[in-house]
């Protein structure tokens, strides 16, 4: 009886500790999500924003968006940008993690310098790369022209075929340190004795990577890929600073499309609907990741 009373008292104490966090999440995360969901089912524009009663239109905004070819372009851009960034930054980050996991002179210093790319504000990085990719006086064009590999400057940010890749390269440069540091952390948890045993058994470096490193690093790899997908899929600031979704919607992604509908065209309800589509995709990815973690913990 006394143990039950102590358990209830501990649960009550725990609840009071958790309560501030729950109130914070309800006010600053839960309320905007619910309000945005309601807004997407209404017809709210610049003329009706201050009306006390908003017209309820049900799924009309979603149906209009699904019938708009631009949404398909935006979705294709978002997934193309995300997958290309994930593949590049994970591959390069993994290679650097394997390199800097070894002990050699200046390894820690170089690793710290690489982290600067991730620590810089995204808007600053976007402005720097906007200059690097600029047509006149840009670093890349000047370099290629100096080598006589180009006869005239390339309009990297003004052509649909190159603008999206300028964004992908910039975001990859930002994401490499994040991938590298998480994978190095995962590599540091693998006991050296496992590699020594594999070496004694005659395993080659490639066999050690396939049968030791990759399986034991699987949780870290999953975390890097999922977090990288979420971070990349909801990109806004980098695209807005470098291209603003242009040229000709070639770099328009869900977040910038939602912003344009809401604050350029003042169609707040359609902008909210696009934001909800973005939220649903990320929510499904997060649920999949949580399920994956539970399955691994249950093994």
Q: Is residue 35 part of a domain?
A: no
Number of neighbours of residue 220 by Cβ within 10 angstroms: 19
The residue assigned the tokens 């209009």 is 64
Q: Is residue 213 part of a domain?
A: yes
Q: Is residue 244 part of a domain?
A: yes
pLDDT at 171 over 90: yes
Q: Is residue 50 part of a domain?
A: no
Q: Is residue 72 part of a domain?
A: yes
Identify which of 124, 126, 154 has the alpha carbon closest to the alpha carbon of residue 140. Answer: 154
* 53-57, 99-103, 173-177 — most confident range: 173-177
Q: Are 89 and 175 in contact (CB under 8 A)?
A: yes
Cα 83 from Cα 233, distance rounded (Å): 9
Q: Is residue 150 part of a domain?
A: yes
Q: Which residues of 267-299 are buried (b: 16+ CB within 10 A; e: fewer)?
A: bbbbbbbbbbbbeebeeeeeeebeeeeeeeeee
75-105 pLDDT per residue, tens: 999 999 999 999 999 999 999 999 988 888 8
Instruction: Please give the residue range of the domain that contains residue 75.
Output: 61-297
Kindly report the CATH number assigned to the domain that includes residue 154: 1.10.3720.10
pLDDT band at 162 (very low <50, low <70, confident <90, very high): very high
Q: Is residue 23 part of a domain?
A: no
Cα 53 from Cα 81, distance rounded (Å): 40
110-136 pLDDT per residue, tens: 888 888 888 899 999 999 999 999 998
Number of structural domains found in the chain: 1
Cα 131 from Cα 138, distance rounded (Å): 6
pLDDT at 4 over 70: no
* 169 vs 115, residue with greater confidence: 169
> In 3-state terms, what secondary structure has residue 74?
helix
Identify which of 115, 85, 116, 121 has the alpha carbon closest to the alpha carbon of residue 184. Answer: 115
Q: Is residue 9 part of a domain?
A: no
Burial class of residue 32, CB neighbours in 10 A (0-12, 13-18, 19+)? exposed
24-51 pLDDT per residue, tens: 999 999 999 999 999 999 999 888 888 8
pLDDT at 1 over 80: no
């Amino acid at each position: 009886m006394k143990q039950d009373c102590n358990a209830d008292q501990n649960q009550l104490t725990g609840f009071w500790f958790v309560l501030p966090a729950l109130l914070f999440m309800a006010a600053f995360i839960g309320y905007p999500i619910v309000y945005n969901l309601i807004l997407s089912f209404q017809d709210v524009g610049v003329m009706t924003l201050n009306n006390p009663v908003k017209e309820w239109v049900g799924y009309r905004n979603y149906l209009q968006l699904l019938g708009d070819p631009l949404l398909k372009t935006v979705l294709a851009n978002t997934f193309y940008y995300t997958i290309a960034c994930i593949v590049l930054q994970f591959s390069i980050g993994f290679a650097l993690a394997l390199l800097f996991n070894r002990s050699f002179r200046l390894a820690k210093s170089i690793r710290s310098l690489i982290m600067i790319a991730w620590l810089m504000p995204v808007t600053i990085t976007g402005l720097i790369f906007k200059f690097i990719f600029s047509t006149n006086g840009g670093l890349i064009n000047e370099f290629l022209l100096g080598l006589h590999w180009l006869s005239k400057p390339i309009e990297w940010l003004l052509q649909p075929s190159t603008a999206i890749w300028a964004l992908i390269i910039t975001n990859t440069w930002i994401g490499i340190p994040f991938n590298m540091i998480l994978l190095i952390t995962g590599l540091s948890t693998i006991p050296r004795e496992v590699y020594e045993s594999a070496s004694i058994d005659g395993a080659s470096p490639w066999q050690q990577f396939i049968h030791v490193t990759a399986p034991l690093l699987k949780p870290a790899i999953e975390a890097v890929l999922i977090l990288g997908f979420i971070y990349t899929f909801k990109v806004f600031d980098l695209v807005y600073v470098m291209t603003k979704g242009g040229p000709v919607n070639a770099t328009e992604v869900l977040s910038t499309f939602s912003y344009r509908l809401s604050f350029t065209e003042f169609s707040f309800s359609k902008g909210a609907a696009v934001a909800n589509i973005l939220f649903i995709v990320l929510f499904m990815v997060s649920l999949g990741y949580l399920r994956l973690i539970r399955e691994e913990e249950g093994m």
